[in-house]
Structure 1
Amino acid sequence: MPTFPYGDLTADDRELIECARQIVDLHGEGLVHSMGSAVRDQAGRMYGGINLFHFTGGPCAELVTLGNARAQGARDLTTIVAVGDEGRGPVGPCGRCRQILFDYHPRIRVLLPTETGVKSVRIVDLMPLAARWDAAEGTQPFDADVFE
């Protein structure tokens, strides 16, 4: 199994990666593109999920994880990671997941691979000058104060 340089990740970040890895290793589909995900809330609790692979584009692991956390009462989420099966390690979120994370949790950090190892990155840094969407008011103009 490959190892991934973790750079300046905290012990909590590494624990979150391990939680997601265990989810995909225990419950992945094997011959399909399986991803496990884990998210941590402000109180330090972790919630997990796994993607549901389907030829029509089933939900990503991050979205299942967000739904699971919400169903258990978590609201203030701080960090999320997705880990691929077959020892692929942390994988960055797709565009749809980035937008949803940006809309619902604009201060969340994402653990993802970079050219210098796995890093913790603010979602806003993955979505520069993006417009947040709000159910009541629709697409909002970019507001830098939301991300300070």
Structure 2
Amino acid sequence: MTTAHPVDHELIQAAAHLARTRCRGDNHTMAAAARARDGRIITAVNAYHFSGGPCAELVLIGAAAAQGAYELDTVVAVGDRDRGVVPPCGRCRQVLLDYFPTLKVIVGNEDRTRAVPVADLLPESYVWADHQLEAG
């Protein structure tokens, strides 16, 4: 059962604005926005490359760290060309869970968006963070 949380519409707007204004051509087709624990909004775009460039959510993790935001509460990705909210791919789901186990992810479309725990997007998943705890 998925537990829904209040949707952070400001995040969706920030990612949509970035997708409209910065995603041009085939190199940048997705934008992501996250709310840091301190309230800041961090944004990023993907870096598409035929060899497997990083998704917007992964670029966002690095951008957040570069800005000193190591704890994120909520994330959303939005596609260019008015595609709206796009759920994270499998790799991003796993990485987001590993970095931020309590993260909420906004999914759904138009007026049916909802914020769900990242763990709900990967039921019975391997948790890399558990390995780090055991090693320490």
TM range (shorter): 0.7 to 0.9
Q: Which has the higher contact order (CA 8 A, sep 6+)?
A: 2
Q: Name structure 2 gaps, 5 residues minimum.
A: none
- After the TM superposition, which residues 85-96 of structure 1 pair with which residues of structure 2 at under 5 Å, given as runs? 85-96=80-91
For the aligned residues, what is the CA RMSD?
2.4
Q: Does the C-alpha gap of structure 1 residues 51 and 8 become closer, same or farther in structure 2, counting only changes over 3 Å?
A: same
Whole-angstrom distance in 2 between the partners of 1:94 and 1:31: 18
Shift of residue 54 of structure 1? Answer: 1.1
Q: Does the C-alpha gap of structure 1 residues 14 and 129 become closer, same or farther in structure 2, counting only changes over 3 Å?
A: same
1:42 aligns to 2:26 (yes or no): no
* TM-score for the superposition, normalised by structure 1: 0.79
Aligned partner of residue 79 in structure 1, secondary structure: strand
Whole-angstrom distance in 2 between the partners of 1:69 and 1:138: 21
1:101 paired residue number: 96
Task: Looking at secondary structure, tell me which structure has more strand per residue.
Answer: 1
1:58 paired residue number: 53
Task: Looking at secondary structure, tell me which structure has more helix per residue.
Answer: 2
Q: Which letter does structure 2 place at the counterpart of 1:59?
A: P
Shift of residue 9 of structure 1? Answer: 4.1
Aligned partner of residue 19 in structure 1, secondary structure: helix
CA contact (8 A) 1:131 1:139 kept: no
Number of residues of Structure 1 aligned to a counterpart in Structure 2: 130
Shift of residue 31 of structure 1? Answer: 4.8
Deviations 1:19-60 (A, max 9, x none): 111111111123567000001111110100000111112110
1:69 to 61, 64, 67: 64
* TM-score for the superposition, normalised by structure 2: 0.86
Of all paired residues, the percent bearing the same amino acid is 43
Q: Which letter does structure 2 place at the counterpart of 1:55?
A: F
Q: Name structure 1 gaps, 5 residues minimum.
A: 1-6, 141-148
Q: Which letter does structure 1 place at the counterpart of 2:17?
A: Q
Whole-angstrom distance in 1 between the partners of 2:133 and 2:40: 31
